[in-house]
Amino acid sequence: MNPAFLLRTLTAGLLALAAGPTQARGETLDKVSFGTNWVAEAEHGGFFQAVADDTYKKYGLDVTIVPGGPNTNNRILLTAGKLDFFMSANTLQSFDAVANNVPLIAVAAIFQKDPQVFLTHPETKIAKLEDLKPLTLLVSKEGVASYFQWLKSEYGFSESKVKPYTFNPQPFIVNKQSAMQGYVTSEPYAVEKAAGFKPGVILLADHGFNAYSTLIETRREIVDKKPDLVQRFVDASVIGWYNYLYGDNSAGNAMIKKINPEMTDELLSYSVAKMKEYGIVDSGDTLRDGIGAMNDARVASFFDKMVRAGVVRRDIDYRQAYTLRFVNKAVGLDLRPKN
């Protein structure tokens, strides 16, 4: 074979590989719609990053992110076929889909830890979960129906100490003998800004509430008919999350701020720092299997806890709620800093 021709062939092949999966295959882009469960924020950052830096395009995808909000139910749009993927809150939603024969399935878990916390006043010196029992607990209606039932069954908490949480921190700020629910990535920041003190933080995930959170969910028919598309969306999302956490996330943050002007650089930076500090996205199994990891034993453990708490029925086949087909492939591990 002509050496010059061989050199040109090898060079062209290397350039195609360097350009990414899409260019290497020469494919047109598959249009994909992905609905989030809230307005744009740092907790969605990896998905926006994958759009902003063309990671999805490199995987052959033209992704449109459809933000959620207080008056938007993107999960219903997924079920109705109006969206291709959805960012579900936690594993309980996946169990609920099985219980109600809704043909949805979780294909990746972006958050290894649910970010649910209780905030406390520094004067109370709360050191462990059980120390919260004497306090007035500000809990939302959704929280009472979910994680608080686990607190009752596993730790003996009493609903007599619960008062409604209305997503306003003022009742907590003025009552030093109270604790307020929140997300580790946002509410501590809001309290510190509003009240001038740094609250104590108890992360439920570090005390046994082992739900996966921020899962990628899709319809079963998409998994059955378009598994390659699902795999590419999961892999590209995972790469987006590594780049958002450990690389230059300015492009992703710019998209978030354009969609949701209430997001400031300071809050975005705070949220990313807390996700890293508490291992919300990247900890445990992800250190070996990559962001998005799930495993059977952990889902079984959480299911048993929710059954004991009376939150889910024991007779549902919880294994239908998720699949490991698209995760645990160590995608993106090379993007994590070595130190």
Task: Using the predicted structure, report yes or no on whether residue 3 has a pLDDT greater than 80.
Answer: no
The owner of tokens 């294909």 is 107
Average pLDDT over residues 95-107: 97
Confidence of residue 2 (pLDDT cuts 50, 70, 90): very low
Task: Using the predicted structure, report yes or no on whether residue 194 has a pLDDT greater than 90.
Answer: yes
Amino acid at the residue 233: F
- Alpha-carbon distance of 274 to 201, in angstroms, equals 11
Give pLDDT, residue 18.
36
Give pLDDT, residue 338.
87
Confidence of residue 26 (pLDDT cuts 50, 70, 90): low
Q: Which CATH number fits domain 3-114+211-335: 3.40.30.10, 3.40.50.880, 3.40.190.10, 3.40.640.10?
A: 3.40.190.10
Task: Using the predicted structure, report yes or no on whether residue 200 has a pLDDT greater than 50.
Answer: yes
Compute the residue count for the chain. Answer: 339
Q: Give 125: exposed, middle or buried? Use CB within 10 Å, 0-12, 13-18, 19+.
A: exposed
Task: Give tens-digit pLDDT for 276-323.
Answer: 999 999 999 999 999 999 999 999 999 999 999 999 999 999 999 999
Give pLDDT, residue 27.
67
Average pLDDT over residues 162-183: 96
Task: Using the predicted structure, report yes or no on whether residue 7 has a pLDDT greater than 80.
Answer: no
First to last CA, the chain: 47
Task: Using the predicted structure, report yes or no on whether residue 16 has a pLDDT greater than 90.
Answer: no
Question: Per-domain residue ranges for the chain?
Answer: 3-114+211-335, 116-207
- Alpha-carbon distance of 115 to 211, in angstroms, equals 10
Which CATH code fits 116-207? 3.40.190.10
Amino acid at the residue 125: K
Average pLDDT over residues 171-188: 97
- What does the mean pLDDT of the chain come to? 93
C-alpha closest to that of 128 among 200, 198, 183, 66: 200
In this structure, what token pair is assigned to residue 278?
A: 């508490």
Give pLDDT, residue 19.
38
Task: Give tens-digit pLDDT for 117-160.
Answer: 999 999 999 989 999 999 999 999 999 999 999 999 999 999 99
Instruction: Quote the DSSP letter at residue 168.
Output: -
- Alpha-carbon distance of 218 to 327, in angstroms, equals 14
Task: Using the predicted structure, report yes or no on whether residue 14 has a pLDDT greater than 70.
Answer: no
Task: Using the predicted structure, report yes or no on whether residue 62 has a pLDDT greater than 60.
Answer: yes
Give pLDDT, residue 21.
57
Domains 3-114+211-335 and 116-207 share a fold: yes
Task: Using the predicted structure, report yes or no on whether residue 11 has a pLDDT greater than 80.
Answer: no
E strand or H helix at 172, and its extent? helix 170-174
Average pLDDT over residues 33-39: 97
E strand or H helix at 65, and its extent? strand 61-66
Residue 119 main-chain phi, psi, to 5 deg: -100, 140
Task: Using the predicted structure, report yes or no on whether residue 40 has a pLDDT greater than 60.
Answer: yes
CA 191 to chain centre: 23
Contacts of 212 (CB under 8 A, 6+ apart): 90, 91, 106, 109, 111, 112, 114, 294, 298, 299, 302
CB 114 within 8 A of CB 213: yes
pTM across the whole model: 0.91
Task: Using the predicted structure, report yes or no on whether residue 8 has a pLDDT greater than 50.
Answer: no
Task: Give tens-digit pLDDT for 225-249.
Answer: 999 999 999 999 999 999 999 999 9
- Alpha-carbon distance of 186 to 268, in angstroms, equals 9
In this structure, what token pair is assigned to residue 39?
A: 């307005």
In the three-class reduction of DSSP (H, G, I as helix; E, B as strand; rest coil), residue 37 is classed as: coil
